[in-house]
Amino acid sequence: MPTSVNPATGEVIRQFDFLDAAEVDRRRNLAWDAFVEWRDISFAERSGCFKRLAHLLESRVDELAKTMTEEMGKPITQSRSEVEKCAWVCKYYAENAERFLSPSELDAGEGKHYTRFDPLGPVLAIMPWNFPYWQVFRFAAPSLMAGNTALVKHAPNVMGCAENIEQLFKEADFPEGVYNNFPIRVEEVPLVLQHPQVRAATLTGSDRAGAAVAQEAGRALKKVVLELGGSDPFIVMPDADLEAALEGAVASRTLNAGQSCIAAKRMLVHESIEDEFINGLINRFRELQVGDPRESNTNVGPIARSDLLDNLAAQVERSVQSGAQLRFGGRRMFDRGFYYQPTVLGGVRPGMPAFDEEIFGPVASVTAFSDADDVAELANRSSYGLGSSIWTRNTAAAERIAQDIEAGLVFINRVVASDPRLPFGGVKRSGYGRELSREGIREFVNIKTVSVIG
């Protein structure tokens, strides 16, 4: 049974129900019937729906943020920012979808030749808990503006957020069935994917979950987009603006208590500034306010679930046993709730969990390097390839390094972020396909060639 547990206290908030078989069929049929009409609705009408949706999000920031903070522990100021970002992506696609999907003329000799971008149909979206509003809207805004409909299976610990989103779509006057809350069991996903009415799938989550969904989608010959884990390198060159790099490192490593796929997880720091960088991290981590995520002065809230906290603590312990140096933190906090002290590990090397695995918590893992020419090779010593950042005053050199980094995103002198205007996605075990920008809205469309003679 899906259960919301307050990670700040460990107390159960509410329990929910999965859909029974009849309701699964009803909502899937509803999504298909809605698609048949929604795909023929004009961009202007779809845009109007999303503009109303954006207005509702902006008018209910505090209410929506409160649910998120209670269900997964995000500090309330960060929760408010997430809701506001959802409104932004709704407005972005309301304003740009028609331009992104306008027919494209082709030069192929005599006659008229062009491509159309037609929607595919209902898309099964399997969403994570760490950004429970943003991840949904990041998928829904481009996909629905393109003319598709959505069946959204949200994470079982944030079902209150899932219900809020469904209600917002209803109040924004989207036609019934365009957006469907779809709380099904994990074992039901293959059956849904195999059904001919479901035309594609997307998943944001672990690489293990992504591999399972990709296997089922491949068996059914369905398009799938996967945004999976990350172990992002945060490269600090010897000529970097150290204050800016430290500020970025702390922000990236502690936002959402470090529970982000694109959080900087492996800090690769030139040996000439390693001690200064680590000491700077420790000093800043000491000043962070860890505590009640409802309080506006809290910087770091709890880990979202008790099992995630156990795994994080074990990863740090195994890394220290493998030779990493515990420079700061490394312990659970408080008598109740799922809190972990912001932590700094030095002397981290390949082969340690803190280097090889995705660390989902407020832990900074520092690895020193000596040769700038080899830093890309060190950055690439990961099975993941989502984001990365380079901090240096020599941006031309950073752009040359960026060519060699195996990642979907390379940010120079700024923290990696998802932005509606920029394509987002990864390579290797971080998945494939793109979200956001023009590339994102073209993932779930049929790129159809039309060639006319006479």
Domain count of the chain?
A: 2
Same domain, 198 and 320: no
What domain range includes position 303? 232-419
* β-bridge pairing 200-204 and 122-126: parallel
Same domain, 167 and 285: no
Same domain, 182 and 272: no
Q: What is the pLDDT of residue 224?
A: 98
Same domain, 370 and 222: no
Mean pLDDT rounded to a whole number for the chain = 97
Q: How far is CA 298 from CA 74, 75, 80, 131, in A?
A: 10, 6, 13, 18
We report the CATH number of the domain holding residue 318 as 3.40.309.10
Q: Is 95 a catalytic residue?
A: no
Q: What residue has token string 């490192």?
A: 249
Q: Which of 216, 227, 357, 358 is catalytic?
A: 227
Same domain, 223 and 239: no
Q: What is the pLDDT of residue 66?
A: 98
Cβ-in-10-Å burial (0-12, 13-18, 19+) of 105 comes to exposed
Residue 424 lies in a domain: no
Dist. CA 170–CA 178, nearest whole Å: 10
Q: Which of 71, 261, 274, 357 is catalytic?
A: 261
Average of per-residue pLDDT across 95-110: 96
Residue 169 lies in a domain: yes
Assess whether pLDDT exceeds 90 at residue 1. no
Q: Is 261 a catalytic residue?
A: yes
pLDDT (tens digit per residue) in 407-434: 999 999 999 999 999 999 999 999 999 9
Dist. CA 342–CA 105, nearest whole Å: 54
Residue 201 has φ and ψ, to the nearest 5°, of: -145, 155
We report the CATH number of the domain holding residue 24 as 3.40.605.10
Same domain, 70 and 218: yes
Same domain, 194 and 215: yes
Share of the chain above pLDDT 90, in %: 99
Dist. CA 229–CA 251, nearest whole Å: 19
Residue 395 lies in a domain: yes
H/E segment holding residue 249? helix 242-254
CB 332 within 8 A of CB 340: yes
Q: What is the pLDDT of residue 158?
A: 98
- Which one, of 146, 185, 196, 182, lies nearest residue 32 by Cα? 196
Dist. CA 390–CA 399, nearest whole Å: 9
pLDDT (tens digit per residue) in 238-289: 999 999 999 999 999 999 999 999 999 999 999 999 999 999 999 999 999 9
Same domain, 446 and 300: no
Q: What is the pLDDT of residue 406?
A: 98
- Which one, of 42, 58, 153, lies nearest residue 98 by Cα? 42
Same domain, 255 and 216: no
Residue 68 has φ and ψ, to the nearest 5°, of: -60, -45
Q: What is the pLDDT of residue 373?
A: 86
**Which pair of structure tokens corresponds to residue 15?**
């329990």
Residue 208 lies in a domain: yes
Assess whether pLDDT exceeds 90 at residue 234. yes
Residue 425 lies in a domain: no
Dist. CA 263–CA 432, nearest whole Å: 18
Residue 314: CB atoms within 10 A of its CB come to 11
Average of per-residue pLDDT across 145-171: 98
Average of per-residue pLDDT across 206-223: 96
Same domain, 39 and 154: yes
Same domain, 318 and 400: yes
Assess whether pLDDT exceeds 90 at residue 236. yes
pLDDT (tens digit per residue) in 292-304: 999 999 999 999 9
Assess whether pLDDT exceeds 90 at residue 372. no
Angle between helices 159-171 and 43-59 (to 10 degrees): 130
Q: What is the pLDDT of residue 454?
A: 85
pLDDT (tens digit per residue) in 303-345: 999 999 999 999 999 999 999 999 999 999 999 999 999 999 9
